[in-house]
Amino acid sequence: MTHKIGIKGQVVIPKAIRDEIGFEPGDEVTFEPDGKEVRVRRVADDPGARRERISALRGIFADTPGFSTEALEADRREERERDERRERERAARRAR
């Protein structure tokens, strides 16, 4: 099965191959040169790429005001207190 590379360097992966491999629209893929061939691999299936994506996220909020552990804990505490207060109000209305 042969296909031409388009003007923008794009190639369509035939549907039969996409179905066999399980590629879905929107999947991220990596391209790995292998001599005179190219290996296409779904990022979700590539453990190294997954580790890189996770590592890239570490510390992204480190210098952002309001994103400290203490601020997040305080926010969660306020949310829990608000939920408990609403539940007490509902229970009081039901008891009337």
Give 10-residue mean pLDDT values along the chain (96 residues): 89 91 88 91 74 82 80 92 95 88
The pLDDT value recorded for residue 85 is: 95
Verify that 5 and 50 share a domain, yes or no. yes
CA geometry: angle 88, 93, 96, nearest 5 deg = 125
Q: Is 56 helix (H, G, I), strand (E, B) or coil?
A: helix
CA geometry: angle 31, 37, 38, nearest 5 deg = 10
CATH number for 32: 2.10.260
Q: Which residues, in sequence order, are CB contacts of 22 under 8 Å at separation 6+? A: 42
Verify that 41 and 72 share a domain, yes or no. no
Verify that 7 and 29 share a domain, yes or no. yes
pTM value surpassing 0.95: no
Verify that 14 and 48 share a domain, yes or no. yes
| Alpha-helical segments (H) within the chain | 15-21, 47-57, 69-95
Domain ranges, residue 22: 1-58
